[in-house]
Structures are given as C-alpha cells and as structure tokens.
Amino acid sequence: MTEQNHEHFIHCTGLVKIFQVAGLEVVALQGLDLEVERGEILALVGPSGSGKSTLLSALGGLDRPSAGKLEIDGQNLLKFSQIELTAYRREQVGFVWQQTTRNLLPYLTAGQNIELLMTLAGSSAQERQAWAAELLEAVGMVEYAKQKPPQLSGGQQQRIAIACALANRPKILLADEPTGEVDWPTAQRILTLLRDLRERYELTIVLVTHDPRVAEWADRVIAIRDGRTSTETVRVASNGIQAASDGAAAHSSSTAHAEASVHFEELVVLDSAGRLQLPGDQRALAGIGRRARVELVDGGILIKASDEDRIEVTTADPETDAEATYHSLYSADPPPAPAPSNGRVKGSWWKLRWLRKRTE
Ligand code: ADP
Ligand code: MG
C-alpha cells in the first residue's frame, strides 16, 4: 500500500461522513483533521452526536467515510476494497465497546471467549491456548478463566473484553466509552491496564470518553464538536513548555513535586485553512453573533463582537457557571462527578471561570 505519511501512525485530513436518513443527509464528520502518533493514547471527548463513534468506526474499518483522506500505518483506507477493509479490521484492529455484551458471549467462559476470536483467525489449538493464557495474565484475570461473563463484575468483564480485543494481535486498539459503565476506581484500574498493555504490545490506543478525568491517563485529549476537531488538551510543565506526551509522567510519578509541575491546557485547533471553532457559550459571553471583529494585538489576535452583530451577553450564575461551561464544552449528557480534589487535573472549566473573572 502507499507509503506516504509514515511520520504519523494515523493521519486523517478533511474526513467527511454523510449518512442518508429518510432522504435527508446527516453530516456526522465535517472535514475532520486528526493525527495520532504510533504508540500514543488519544482520548476523544465531545457532546453526544458530535461524531466520535463515527470517527472510531472509520478508523476501525467498520464504516467508510464519504470523502477525505484516512491513512493508518501507511495504508490508505479509502482505497481499500471491501475484502481488504475486512482483512484490515480482522488483522490490525481491536475493539472494546461500552456494553460488554457487545464484546463477550455470555454462554462461553472468559478463556473460551478469547479463544473463539483466534479460531476465527485460523490458529492451531495449541497456539490459541498459549495466547489466551498470556492475555488472561496480561489483563490480570488468570483465576477467572473458567468463569462466564454473567458471573463477573463489570470491571472484570471489561478486562476480558480487552483481552478479546487483543486476541488478533492488533496494532491499534479502539475503545468506545470503555469505562462508561463502571465506577471511577474501577475505571482507573482499567485505564492503568490500558497503559500497561500499550507498552507491552506496542499498541496505539484511541478511546472515546465523556469523562475529563480520563485526561490524566491519555497522552492527549481531543474534543470533537459538530464533526470536527475543536480543541486539544496538552500537558504543560510549570515552566510553560509542553510536557512530553507520555502521560505516565503525570500519573505514575511518585513525587508530589513532579505532579505539581504539570498541568493541562486546552488549546483551540486550527485546520489547514486556518478555520477554528469558538464554542457557543464563549461566543455568547463575548456577545459575538454571526460576524466578529478580528484585531491583531500585541502578542495575539483578539476576536470580539462587531457593533452590527453584537448579541445580548448572557451571564451565567457564578456558582453554577463553571459546571455549565464544562458541560457545554464537553458533553450534552449530565455533568459527571467533580474533578479529583488533588488539583492535578485542571480542566477547561477552571480556566474558563478564571478567564471570565478576569474579563468582568
Ligand atoms: P457520538 O458518538 O459523538 O455521540 P455519532 O458518531 O454516533 O456521535 O453520531 C454523529 C451524528 O451522526 C449524529 O447526528 C448521529 O445521529 C448520526 N449518525 C451516526 N450513525 C448513524 C447512522 N448509522 N445512520 C444515520 N445517522 C447516523
Ligand atoms: Mg458514540
């Protein structure tokens, strides 16, 4: 296949996906750009309906984008025939879904669930047993090999689901809300496991989540809004330099000093034509309507309401303000539990609150 973009493991440019529903067109991806490095753990966040699952399906070869460019590990997925796409999906991709019922067959044991996927790949019985045993060990479930999914807890089922996703020795692991149905301590253990598996099997992981706390486990967090990449959250060391993209720096470090020296900053993403998205609530706070005035100022670009199009400025209740802003930036679902109080994850809601205070 083509050898064009070897510098990025995943390279999407101007990705468009249009669904036809009862004669109407639904544009799920509207020219999305995305680059993921080999070995990276990328978290995708965004309101429901913003196109996260559609993107994951395109990356996994489950569905074809309508237009754009999609290259993974030097392969142009849009040029694949249906047979090539199926082979790509079977041989190179592992999927973990939110509902474990989609990953596991309830009447087979954990071990049989893993082996089944290898039967499909045509391995010998001996190979299957050895590989299933290793995967059970890798996900910390050796003693549960003979249990069936309904006998396991949600977190244990998700571990088996992850082992199943690795049965075909994929290069890329795609996970849609893998921690969506478990409590936060269990979610943390699953995320730690994913990091370990990334190292052990040289995986590139893209996971969809609505929980900003997952940022601590990912190397980068990309927010998707209306089918485009909107903002990107990066780690910044206290000296203002973007920290190494290895998220382990923040989460496995044992010293309080190292933890305090890294925080998260959410940056607006510009596409190749210079387009950017301004979240609706921020536009409303600045009174920006359909058109805005753009001024070059010392050190930056100022976007403000134009006199002709100014809209009434909405002022949120200062107490619920932070939550409301967080809510509209990341999710259309109810806001999740507050961020951990150790101050390590500084999400956009804190920053926006601070920005707002300064402009008052
Ligand atoms: P998310 O995962 O971020 O919640 P999706 O990718 O599932 O969003 O959906 C993006 C948009 O595409 C939504 O408007 C959704 O209704 C639409 N959509 C997704 N899948 C289909 C489909 N199979 N047929 C028609 N419309 C779809
Ligand atoms: Mg979805």
The DSSP call for residue 317 is -
pTM above 0.85, yes or no: no
Structural domain tally of the chain? 2
H or E segment and range at residue 70: strand 67-72
The residues near 241 (Cβ < 8 Å, ≥ 6 apart) are none
- The neighbouring-strand residues paired with 222 are 44, 232
Based on the domain organization, do 230 and 325 belong to the same domain?
no
The residues near 331 (Cβ < 8 Å, ≥ 6 apart) are 45, 46, 47, 48, 210
- State residue 242 phi and psi, 5-degree precision: -60, 125
CATH number at residue 251: 3.40.50.300
Instruction: State in Å: Cα 307 to ligand 1 middle.
Output: 37
Based on the domain organization, do 142 and 213 belong to the same domain?
yes
Q: What is the pLDDT along the chain (360 residues), one digit of tens a residue?
A: 444 445 799 999 999 999 999 889 999 999 999 999 999 999 998 888 999 999 999 999 999 999 999 999 999 999 999 999 999 999 999 999 888 778 899 999 999 999 988 776 677 888 889 999 999 999 999 999 999 999 999 999 999 999 999 999 999 999 999 988 889 999 999 999 999 999 999 999 999 987 878 867 899 999 998 898 888 887 776 665 666 544 433 344 333 344 456 777 778 888 778 888 887 777 888 888 888 899 999 888 898 888 888 888 766 554 444 433 333 343 333 334 444 434 333 334 333 333 333 333
Based on the domain organization, do 214 and 312 belong to the same domain?
no
- State residue 12 phi and psi, 5-degree precision: -110, 135
Based on the domain organization, do 305 and 230 belong to the same domain?
no
Instruction: State in Å: Cα 136 to ligand 1 middle.
Output: 34
- State residue 93 phi and psi, 5-degree precision: -120, 140
Question: First CA to last CA across the chain, in angstroms?
Answer: 56
- What residues make up the domain containing 93? 10-262
How many CA atoms lie within 13 Å of 259's alpha carbon, on the beta-carbon side?
12
Ligand 1 pocket member 46 (CB < 6 A) = yes
Instruction: State in Å: Cα 123 to ligand 1 middle.
Output: 36
Ligand 1 pocket member 25 (CB < 6 A) = no
